[in-house]
Amino acid sequence: MDDHIYSARMRERIQQERTQNTVTLLFMGLAFGAILALLFAPKSGDKTRAELTHLIGERFGRRRRTRTEQAIKTLEREFNRLRDQFEDRVAELR
């Protein structure tokens, strides 16, 4: 019975170490990739940051507009449905 507990604990420890190693290697790879990207970048850092800021702002702006338009359409449909229900109930009371 002690062997079973020991082996379960050992498997858990090995899994934790694998996870830690995977995360460590992932971050090292990201850092290495970032360094290479900076070394071989065809543009200056200022230009690259400005372009990235512009692209990100554009994408999020489009998403916000799309979501806002969808929300407005949903609200309009819901408002019309509620207005119709209200008018039906008022008509029933008359």
Per-10-residue mean pLDDT, the chain, length 94: 70 91 93 80 74 77 78 88 89 83
Question: How confident is the model at residue 44, as a pLDDT?
Answer: 73
C-alpha to C-alpha distance for 73 and 68, rounded to whole angstroms: 9
Contact present, 48 and 41 (Cβ < 8 Å):
yes
pTM above 0.75, yes or no: no
Question: How confident is the model at residue 63, as a pLDDT?
Answer: 73
Q: Return the structure tokens found at 1.
A: 């019975």
Question: How confident is the model at residue 15, as a pLDDT?
Answer: 92
Contacts of residue 74, defined as CB under 8 A and 6 or more positions apart, other chains included, come to: none
Question: How confident is the model at residue 2, as a pLDDT?
Answer: 56
